[in-house]
Amino acid sequence: MLQIVMAGGWAVLPILLCSAWVLAVAIERAWVLRRQAVMPPGLGDEVARWVQSGIVDAAHLQALSAASPLGQLLAAAAAVRDRPRDQIKERLEDTGRHVVFRLERHLNGLGTIALIAPLLGLLGTVIGLVRMFMTVMGEGVGDPSRMAGGIGEALICTAGGLVVAIPAYVLHRWYRARIDGYVVDMEQQASRLLDVITATASRRTRSRSAAPAAG
């Protein structure tokens, strides 16, 4: 295997670097984008109970925000629960953009590798063919092994670029689809919490209004 890679010439080096980066990103994103890490089960219901009972404080919000992306989104809403609904919704939208940006970390890099890896392979192919033609021009066709070396370099670079580009593209699309699914679920959780905050605020307002009347 090492001999095949070495036969590809210097153009294989950037392809190998791209492959190492793709592998590192694939492992890192697989760990970060675990569902339990992004959206802990039951977290939305727990935060809703906090809001309804009025036990939300700075310590709760800080721990919630640091725990997970969903927790950060819900904490942003809970922190401004006393404001009008429109302002809470704006805070959710702003925080959601930051959360999605962090979830999509390195995905643009995967897409870029999927694009440039075949081009790197094509560059190596062109270099190999140029070497072959230079050999023919200088020595004629009397040395088939020299020609075979150029052809082999060209084919190895082409194959190497595709071997890196195809998994990078598949991973890019797969992680993108997973994040899109998380975004939809987080929007639903945030909407439910917003409804709970609104209902709780309305109930407390009615209670305060009824208290003087009863007195």
Q: For 135-148, how does the pLDDT look when each residue is reduced to its tens digit (9 = 90+)?
A: 667 666 555 666 66
Tens digit of pLDDT for each residue in 149-194? 667 667 788 888 899 999 999 999 999 999 999 999 999 999 999 9
SS (H, E, C) 159-192: HHHHHHHHHHHHHHHHHHHHHHHHHHHHHHHHHH
Note the pTM of the prediction, 2 decimals.
0.81
For residue 97, the model assigns a pLDDT of 93
Tens digit of pLDDT for each residue in 114-123? 999 999 888 8
The CA angle 41-46-52, to the nearest 5 degrees, is 155
Q: Which two tokens stand for residue 17?
A: 């670097």
